[in-house]
Amino acid sequence: MDKLVIEGGRRLKGVVNISGAKNSALPIMAASLLTDDTCVINNVPLLKDVDTMIKILRALETKVEKKKGTLIISGKCKKVKAPYDLVSTMRASVCVLGPLLAKKKYAEVSFPGGCVIGPRPIDLHLKGLERLGSEIKIKSGYILARTRKLKGAKIYLGGHFGSSVLATANTMMAATLAEGTTIIENAACEPETVDLANFLISMGAKIEGHSTPTMRIKGVKKLHGTRHAIVPDRVETGTYMLASAITGGELFLKNAKLAHLFAVVDKLRECGVKITEREDGVAVKRNPKQAVKPTTITTLPYPGFPTDMQAQMMSLLCLADGISVITEKIYPERFIHISELSRMGAHILLEGPNAIIKGVKNLNGADVMASDLRASAALVLAGLVAKDKTEVHRIYHLDRGYENLDKKLSRVGARIWREQE
Ligand code: EPZ
């Protein structure tokens, strides 16, 4: 396995190209199972998770061609079993459940795996599909879902922590081919859910209210092929905003859109970061002579502050001039980065889902490791500004979710490289 070596202390300056959103691309790839026609998907990020989803689609005997950032998915899927060895590595694999059920009336999908960020139940996925008229059993670690005919229903999809992005995706995808109308209450409103809905609409699905908590889907008999470009990745954008902020740098994030990042932008501005939107992207700048201001953050479903940006924001707040508080309301245990940031000299106290961060003057390089994608990104950010050398081990998770992170950072002045362990 590779590790990343970072020599901190360089101000980043230049242009970073923002890739397509991982969390849009994965469910959209699964949605292509809903048609026998060809779907062409552009602006797909080159990531391990995308490769895993390609393998799953191929295991279902669908044809997938990959040409740089374009995927051509075609042909009837013949198999209905998504196997453990693939599904266990990535949570988003569960997205094939809804489309397989709708198209083939039967699906066998292994329980999903993914990052270690606390319990990640799938009760809402199963509730959505059951309410549409399917019967679900769990056997030998697999979800077995069967239906004679899916029928539209009124479904409340709220859980203990609010709406669910992928449960909304699974239910919405299955409902596109159900008989009658489905109403999903407390539907996720994340930009990736909206991108998926737009993809389905371009295939002939009848969906309304897809950026609101009440989504209405009128089932159709058949969906057809389409061509679609994935939206820019808001979490990748946010991560590079923080790379600029933490190094007191000046980055232009090409293709980035602020529309999906208001909560993050609002907090960064509060911390003293200057952010300006232009036609082709977003400029992010922080004056290194001025201290980062502390703030309070609570993660919430969209349009609240995203949990996927919590760890990276914490790295910046470790260096703020005062005390900050972060409350994690989506995954109350998603704090794996705290122990690693503390190894680098951060002062953080964890009280249940609240992290209290007392800013320090400097972070120091160290050997660190994280088994969560965004936590790993937070450690890279800390490494960019830490004194001396930081080694981020087990970067498997970073490769799952950030396209060429090390190369993109080196191009704007970071001293970062990959070595074999
Ligand atoms: C999506 O995961 C993202 N993954 C995650 O991104 C992201 O952290 C998360 O949404 C929240 O925004 C993809 O899109 C591929 P949820 P998802 O269902 O859909 C609870 C990243 O770093 N819940 O919206 O699996 C759940 O435990 C990742 O890119 C239930 O209770 O998350 C959590 O507390 C990691 N029952 C809350 O809902 C369920 O059946 C929101 O989770 C499902 C979820």
DSSP string, 341-379: HHHTT-EEEEETTEEEEE--S--B--EEE-SSHHHHHHH
Q: Which atom of ligand 1 is nearest the CA belonging to 301?
A: 12
23 lines ligand 1 (CB under 6 A): yes
Task: Give the pLDDT score at 121.
Answer: 85
SS3 letters across 208-234: ECCCCCEEEEECCCCCCCEEEECCECH
Regarding the beta carbon of 26 and ligand 1, being less than 6 Å apart is answered yes
Q: Which tokens in the block code for residue 176?
A: 């596109």
Probe ligand 1: pick from 89, 97, 120, 230, max atoms within 8 Å of CB?
120
Is ligand 1 within 6 A of the CB of residue 122?
A: yes
Q: Which of 115, 189, 271, 318 is catalytic?
A: 115
Pocket test for ligand 1, best of 26, 164, 239, 328 (most atoms within 8 A of CB): 164
Helix (H, G, I), strand (E, B) or coil at 10: coil
pLDDT of residue 113: 65
Residue positions counted in the chain:
421
Phi, psi angle pair for 231, to nearest 5°: -70, 155
| Nearest CA owner, ligand 1 atom 41 | 164
How big is the CA angle at 67 (ends 61 and 70), to the nearest 5 degrees?
Answer: 85
The pLDDT tens digits along the chain (421 residues) read 899 999 999 999 999 999 999 999 999 999 999 999 999 999 999 999 999 999 999 999 999 999 999 999 997 888 999 989 998 888 899 999 999 999 999 999 998 765 566 667 899 999 999 999 999 999 988 999 999 999 999 999 999 999 999 999 999 999 999 999 999 999 999 999 999 999 999 999 999 999 999 999 999 999 999 999 999 999 999 999 999 999 999 999 999 999 999 999 999 999 999 999 999 999 999 999 999 999 999 999 999 999 999 999 999 999 999 999 999 999 999 999 999 999 999 999 999 999 999 999 999 999 999 878 999 999 999 999 999 999 999 998 899 999 999 999 999 999 999 999 8
Task: List 297's β-bridge partners, or say none.
Answer: 326
For residues 244 and 7, give the distance between their C-alpha atoms in angstroms, rounded to a whole number: 16
Report how far ligand 1's centroid is from the alpha carbon of 100 (Å).
21
Q: Write down all domains in the chain, each with its CATH number in brackets.
A: 2-19+232-420 (3.65.10.10), 22-229 (3.65.10.10)
Active site annotation includes 115: yes
> At 47, is the secondary structure helix, strand, or coil?
coil
pTM of the model: 0.97
pLDDT confidence of residue 141: 87
